[in-house]
Amino acid sequence: MSSSELASTTAAAPAAAAAVKHPRSRLKFKDTWWRHAVGVVAMCAALFPVVYIVSSSFNSNSSLQSAQVIPSHVTLHNFGSLLHNNVKGNTGAKQDAPYPHWFLNSMLISLLTALATTVLGALAAYAFSRFRFKGRRGGMMGLLLIQMFPQFVAVAAIYLIVLNVGEVFPQIGLDKLAAVVIVYLGGAMGVQAWLIKGFFDTIPTELDESARVDGATAAQIFWGVVMPLAAPVLAVVALISFVFTLNEFVIASTILQTTSHKTLPVGMQLFISNSYDKVWGPFAAGALLAALPVAALFMFLQRWIVSGLTAGSVKG
Amino acid sequence: MADVAFNDVDKIYDNGVQAVFGLTLDIHDAEFLVLVGPSGCGKTTALRMVAGLEEISGGTVSIGGRVVNDVSPKERDIAMVFQNYALYPHLSVGENIAFGLRLRKEPKEMINERVAWAAKLLDLAPYLNRKPKELSGGQRQRVAMGRAIVRKPQVFLMDEPLSNLDAKLRVQMRADIAHLQRELQTTTVYVTHDQVEAMTMGDRVAVMANGVLQQVDAPQRLYDRPANLFVAGFIGTPPMNLLEATATVNGEVSVNLGGNVLPIAPEAIQQYPRLREYGGRPVIVGLRAGDLHPAQGRDDLPQIHATVEIVESLGGESMAYFRVDARYIKSEAAEEEAVLASEGTPETVVGSRPNLVASFPPHVHLRLRDKVPIAVDTKNLHFFDEASGAPLR
């Protein structure tokens, strides 16, 4: 911007301040190109795996080397073989890959875990936010500290616990989906409870008190007043724990052993675990299908997520 | 309908702070009682103890003759209006009003009927399907009222319900609430820090300071016969001027107020006979702004001389602020100065600020910094002991 331009702009500014609607549009490209460059690079980095997975899932060739970004033969073969448990390795040998089972297992575990984590986290958060009791501070710090140890550090211990519990209660023993859900719930509480507590703290206590005077019980206040108002943060917590559970590998692979009981990550890992016989095509197709429910959930919860993330983070 | 009684009630919080000291107060059936005092005086705590939202540390609270110390809020049959209204944001106006009735599982027709009744009474009928955030402040306030009246409780508890409204609306709602209460004849305890609200709304007003009840009386009696220095300084707009003076008794009684000798009218002596015992001793003189007049044309009244500091014209009258050469007690109405009263009686201070305010007719010409004569109607003066703050009655 030349000095004369600057002068005229400055002079006109007081009168025309209201008329200038888009001061940003005045920025010159040479001043801002680097922002675009950073954006484009970041976008490429983010999109590359997506493009790759999409393209190889439609590719008839299941080797990595010969795959092209735009497949020469677009085919649904990979999806078909997944859905009909007809995945063949490069040598032609059929693999036992009950993909629909894995998919259902994953959905069941993730949905249950997400739901239960949200409810349990909200219950804990409500107590921490509204009640004053001995050990309140200690309890909250404890939750946070325990959370600092990654869950898979305890994987051997978890394995032993599940093994032994299974002797008494076979329904939550090894190789059972319920066991995985319970282990996830044990680990998922901390951060979620903190996040929800931060949001609960922003809901005025007068609402609780008003409901109490109106005649509501603690349970009625929790379900009827506090929970509906906390919808944004509950949506976020549910989504985070759904995605985390869907991706979780170590614990699921330790507890679930029968092929048809496996979850998506554990099962699909079989496709690429064989050193000389990796089937990337069905793997990519499977990953693409697994992403659909997550995307759907994101879309469904979208309107709550933004306010939930900020509200929780600022006060948490 | 029920009476509410505090009997020697204490409130000590978990952190050891005592908010209410030995409060004994009877609120009659169908009465509108206003609890007033500066922030932190314990008035809201007292109200919350009636609501059951605070535990009672000592003494008893009874509603309708029943001691309710250990009764849960929902079984006390009370309704409360909160300062920030506490409307449920996710429910419509109608659902907000019906909330308490629904919790009590009242029949649907009865709920609808009651909600319609409340909405009509409060001019809310067109808004029943709106969410609280789509309403103006005054409308929200009325929804909060609606939620309270719809259950027809024995007692209304209101915690500064008007303090979030703008000044104009507050004046209107003040009248509306007082009118509604008279119509419904429901015992009401109303907490406010605004003494104008207290004076205009209450059948009786209870003045609290530092957790201690100072005086309970009809508004006019509070104004005319304050029980101590605190009440004198708190009630009335502008607050009463409280100045230190020395009494002289030799047949006639007079006070020396910063070098001005004021003979006291016999009517005032009749009200405050103990002033005679204070010959040669300092007393606190209370002068209402309305008892001070421009000296011109009031030769019948004794005069004092004071320096003009500020003149505020309000159109119908002028507030003139003067300085006289006397120690004074800061107004308790100014909230942030309430701390002053925290240890026993307020102390007199010497300051450079104006210490005498008079309400003059408009168009009185006063030049700043001039020393002018002011006529004092000594019939209505008040006298207090300097050390104890007690009136010299």
User: Would you state the pLDDT for residue B350?
Assistant: 64
Q: Does residue A233 form part of some domain? A: yes
Q: Does residue A201 form part of some domain? A: yes
Average pLDDT value for residue range B105-134: 93
Cα dihedral A36/A41/A46/A49 (nearest 10): 140
pLDDT at A9 over 50: no
Measure the CA–CA gap between A75 and A59, rounded to whole angstroms: 6
CA distance A21 to chain B (A): 29
Measure the CA–CA gap between B238 and A191, rounded to whole angstroms: 55
Residues 6+ apart with CB under 8 A from B180: B121, B122, B145, B149
Contact B74 A132 (CB under 8 A): no
Cα dihedral B137/B204/B11/B37 (nearest 10): 60
Measure the CA–CA gap between B287 and B225, rounded to whole angstroms: 13
> Residue B39 to residues B57, B160, B193: CA-CA distances in angstroms?
21, 11, 7
CATH number for A168: 1.10.3720.10
CB distance B367 to B211 below 8 Å: no
pLDDT-wise least confident of A157-161, A175-179, A281-285, B379-383: A281-285
Check residues B9 and A305 and name the one with the higher pLDDT. B9
B5 token code pair: 């009684």
For residue A216, list chain B residues with Cβ-Cβ distance below 8 A: 74, 103
B200 token code pair: 């205009």
- pLDDT tens-place string over residues A166-208: 999 999 989 999 999 999 988 767 788 888 999 899 888 999 9
Check residues B189 and A53 and name the one with the higher pLDDT. B189
Contact A214 B103 (CB under 8 A): yes
In b/e form, how buried is each residue of A239-271, taking b as 16+ CB within 10 angstroms? bbbbebbbebeebbbbbbeeeebbbbbbbbebb
pLDDT-wise least confident of A71-80, B169-178, B238-247, B253-262: A71-80
Contact A210 B80 (CB under 8 A): yes
User: Would you state the pLDDT for residue A75?
Assistant: 83
Q: How many CB atoms lie within 10 A of CB B3?
A: 17
Q: Is B71 at the interface with chain A, CB within 8 A?
A: no
Domain that holds residue A232: 99-271
pLDDT at A308 over 60: no
DSSP state of A224: I
A137 token code pair: 């501070």
Pick from B14, B53, B143 the residue to mutate for testing the A interface (most A CBs within 10 Å). Answer: B53
For residue B73, list chain A residues with Cβ-Cβ distance below 8 A: 212-213, 215
For residue A132, list chain B residues with Cβ-Cβ distance below 8 A: 14
For residue B100, list chain A residues with Cβ-Cβ distance below 8 A: 214-215
ipTM: 0.84
Q: Is A134 at the interface with chain B, CB within 8 A?
A: no
Q: What percent of chain A has pLDDT over 90?
A: 39
Total structural domains within chain A? 1
Return residues 11-30 of B near A (CB < 8 Å).
14
pLDDT at B369 over 50: yes
Q: Does residue A196 form part of some domain? A: yes
CB distance B34 to B202 below 8 Å: yes
User: Would you state the pLDDT for residue B265?
Assistant: 92
Residues 6+ apart with CB under 8 A from A3: none
| Average pLDDT value over all residues in chain B | 90
For residue A206, list chain B residues with Cβ-Cβ distance below 8 A: 82-84, 86
Confidence of residue A2 (pLDDT cuts 50, 70, 90): very low
| DSSP of A162-193 | HHHHHHH-GGGSTT-HHHHHHHHHHHHHHHHH
Q: Which residues on neighbouring strands pair with residue B80, listed in sequence order? A: B157
Backbone angles phi, psi at B298, to 5 degrees: -115, 55
Q: Does residue A292 form part of some domain? A: no
- pLDDT tens-place string over residues B37-51: 998 899 999 999 999
pLDDT at A278 over 90: no
Contact A220 B103 (CB under 8 A): yes
Map residue A65 onto helix, strand or coil.
coil
Q: Which pairing describes strands B78-81 and B155-159: parallel, antiparallel, or unpaired?
A: parallel
B113 token code pair: 């009927």
User: Would you state the pLDDT for residue A7?
Assistant: 43
Candidates B212, B245, B210, B77; CA nearest to A214 is B77
Sort residue B105 into left (φ over 0), alpha (ψ -120 to 50) or beta. left
Q: Does residue A167 form part of some domain? A: yes
Map residue B3 onto helix, strand or coil.
coil
pLDDT at A316 over 60: no
Contact B147 A216 (CB under 8 A): no
Contact B52 A220 (CB under 8 A): no
Contact A209 B80 (CB under 8 A): yes
CA distance A59 to chain B (A): 50
Backbone angles phi, psi at A195, to 5 degrees: -60, -45
CB distance B200 to B179 below 8 Å: no
For residue B78, list chain A residues with Cβ-Cβ distance below 8 A: 213
For B85, the closest chain A residue by CA position comes to: A206
A134 token code pair: 């001995």
* Number of inter-chain CB pairs under 8 A, A vs B: 55
Q: Is B182 at the interface with chain A, CB within 8 A?
A: no
pLDDT at B136 over 70: yes
Sort residue B285 into left (φ over 0), alpha (ψ -120 to 50) or beta. beta
Measure the CA–CA gap between B20 and B37, rounded to whole angstroms: 12
> Residue A22 to residues A27, A30, B323, B351: CA-CA distances in angstroms?
10, 18, 57, 55
Q: Is A14 at the interface with chain B, CB within 8 A?
A: no
Q: Does residue A159 form part of some domain? A: yes
Confidence of residue A63 (pLDDT cuts 50, 70, 90): low
Map residue B347 onto helix, strand or coil.
coil
Average pLDDT value for residue range B330-350: 49
Q: Which of B51, B53, B104 sits opposite A215 (nearest CB)?
A: B104
User: Would you state the pLDDT for residue B334?
Assistant: 43
B239 token code pair: 């607050």
Measure the CA–CA gap between B72 and B184, rounded to whole angstroms: 25
User: Would you state the pLDDT for residue A64?
Assistant: 62
Half-sphere exposure of B299 (CA within 13 A, CB side): 1
pLDDT-wise least confident of A229-233, B4-8, B20-24, B59-63: A229-233
Angle between helices B137-149 and B108-121 (to 10 degrees): 140
Contact B74 A228 (CB under 8 A): no
Confidence of residue A145 (pLDDT cuts 50, 70, 90): confident
DSSP state of A196: H
- Preceding peptide of B238 cis, ω within 30°: yes
